[in-house]
Amino acid sequence: MPQNESRPSPHRPWEDGWAPDTTRAPGTRRLWLAGALAAATVVACVTAIALSDRPGDEASRRTTATAPTGADALRGPGLISFATPSTTATTAGAGPGGGPSRSTSPSPTPSPAVRHSTTATPSASSPAHPTPAAPAPASPRRSLRSVNYSDRYWHVSQGLVRLDRAAGGEARADSTFTVVPGLADRACLSLRTADGRYLRHRDFVLRAERDDGSSLFGRDATFCARPAPAASGAVSLESVNYPGRFLRHQDFRLRLDPYQDSDLYRADSAFRFTSPLAG
């Protein structure tokens, strides 16, 4: 019967004189298996990511192409947007007393009528009178009578023009004028006295003065006859260089005043050309 040689116990290698086999590291097979499993896992993850990345990029590109820009991108879908406040000079809000506030921007101020203008520009305050000029008197020598004071005529007294009653021969001569084409506008008229002076406004008061040859004098002495609304056949005399201002009597003195929408003004500024008081 074969004899079994006893083998040193592996659990006590040093006591029994047995040494372990060092040619192979312990657990090498398990390490290789774990490494292979990890590599397979990494490959599977990379493949899955690569496959799922393509449609994601296309969707991202579609989203980017249709995404709103500028203020819409900031607002986002479904948000309530508010209008940006205006940067104009007008301030919103209520003014004193609850009314609308005034604009902070300076409003243009209408410039006053230029006395030296050679072209008559219609004024915003001009009355609603007919634009055609009244017919010129048939005779160049005429007198002018007031409509609302039918016994009073234009009369030159101490260089000024007043409404006076007809008196003696000298007074009648001072109430008779020669109607000539306008010095500044021949479509209008000027009035010349018997001694060669012209009726012109200065400081808005009508007076008789010598022609100094200036363009200012010519405009001051030129008036356009308009049909007077106060009486049929009467005229109102509008200044050439102050459109909207008419000759009217006040305290029986002739002056140039802006049009007023009143019966008194219309009557005070209405006159009739009559036969000359002086023969």
Cβ neighbours of residue 224 closer than 8 Å, sequence gap 6 or more = 120, 133, 182, 185, 187, 188, 189, 237, 238, 240
Per-chain mean pLDDT for the chain: 74
Per-residue pLDDT tens for 218-251? 999 999 999 999 999 999 999 999 999 999 999 9
Share of the chain above pLDDT 90, in %: 47
- Which DSSP string corresponds to 211-247? --S-HHHHHHT-EEEEE-TTSTT-EEEEESSSTTEEE
Residue 221's closest CA among 236, 239, 235, 204?
239
Condensed to tens digits (0 to 9), the pLDDT of residues 36-94 reads 888 888 888 777 777 665 544 444 444 444 444 444 444 444 434 444 444 443 333 44
Confidence band, pLDDT 50/70/90 cuts, at residue 7: low
Higher pLDDT, 150 or 60: 150
Q: CA–CA separation, 216 vs 208, rounded Å?
A: 15
Rg (CA), the chain: 55
- What is the pTM for the complete model shown? 0.53
